[in-house]
Amino acid sequence: MSNPPETHKRPHSDLEQSRTKLCEEFSQITGSDSGVAQCHLAENEWEMERALNSFFEADLEAVFEVDDSPERDTSSHQSKKKKTDNDAKGKCIDLTEEEPAGSSGTSKTEAKQKSPEKEDDKLSLISWNVDGLDTTNLQERARGLCSYLALYTPDVVFLQELIPPYVMYLKKRAVSYLLLEGGEEGYFTGMMLKKSRVKLLESNIVPYPTTQMTRNLLIAQVKFRGLDFCLMTSHFESCKGHADERMKQLRLVLQKMNEAPDNVTVLFGGDTNLRDTEVSKVGLPRSVCDIWEHLGRQEHCRYTWDTKINTNKAAPYVSRCRFDRIYLRPAPGGGVPRPAPVNMALIGLEKLDYGRYTSDHWGIYAQFTTS
């Protein structure tokens, strides 16, 4: 019997190739192996968004209940037990007022010396992909984030790769902040506003029309010291092969930045996954500045994704990229202060007591003048 014509083989081959690519992308996004990827995709008719939601619907609450389990309470952990007892009574504990949890044992006093009290007229910001998709030491790493909030007391925090249990943890522990969510299922972005300094006017979520990874743009209109700000955060499409989609998302963000009224300053920050060549192809308008470039392209705070130093992923390769970026469009209107970046630093560079970093990304801390 003769072999079927080549044309009968091609569709099967193309389908297999397409599904292999989907499995690879699923694994890169979730950190799972190919078997798990294939299982979730097959169960959801090979639709990426449905498969991702299916994967993240698993009950991750237990990840954050380790400290609350009775068998973990010992005589050497009385202070932790006291906090657990308070939790059981339904009380909120603001971990952003506690001592940092780094292995260096930095005290609160030393932390203030390390990060001097900021001037009242400066707006401070942290942008950080906190890698909630990695459930290893997740509670300890979430507590590490709160420690950095205590260290820097930022007015605004942009977060990426949050998951619902992480959000619950932050709402319970960081009560001095209002937390806005860019989603409810799977993983998503978030924004934290210091209640005593930033007044929320309104917020909304702008979907990316062609995303395959449920990405969107979270926007908040706020008041800070009488000035109007439009705050934006996002997590652009991941993986090298999705450059076209990333550039579409960048164009949409820049469009929204330029559409803001002349009396409004726009701050965007997030895990853009952008490569410099992609930004060059899109082109930043003259009204928008990349704060790292504006502050002199300092080498020590260039790479926010750095597997040469950050061992959380145990990557067998060295990759150093500036995935995380902050863009500023000062209010162009006459008679309105034009905020400008005054400093920038990478944070999360110290391992926690548990031997891992707060995230596989470094965070960005920045300050802006407002007068």
HEC string for 312-354: CCCCCCCCEECCEEEEEECCCCCCCCCCCEEEEEEECCCCECC
CB of 237 closer than 8 Å to CB of 261: no
Active-site residues, by number, are: 271
CB-based contact 193:206 (threshold 8 Å): no
Secondary structure (3-state) at 199: strand
- What number of CA atoms fall less than 13 Å from residue 185's CA on the CB side? 12
From the CB of residue 124, how many other CB atoms can be counted at a distance below 10 Å?
A: 20
| Contact predicate 268/326, CB 8 Å | yes
Element of type H or E holding 366: strand 363-369
Residue given tokens 């920038």 in the structure block: 344
- φ, ψ of residue 352 to 5 degrees: the values are -75, 175
Bridge partners (DSSP) of residue 206 are: 217
Tell me if 144 sits within 8 A of 109, measured CB to CB.
no
- 11-40 core/surface letters (b: 16 or more CB in 10 A; e: else): eeeeeeeeeeebbebbbebbebeeeebbbb
Helix (H/G/I), strand (E/B), else coil: 180 = strand
Q: Which two tokens stand for residue 47?
A: 């639709």
Range list of β-strands (E), 147-241: 156-162, 177-181, 188-194, 198-207, 216-224, 227-235
CA dist., res. 151 & res. 124, Å (int): 12
Look at phi and psi of residue 340 and say left if phi exceeds 0, alpha if psi is from -120 to 50, else beta. beta
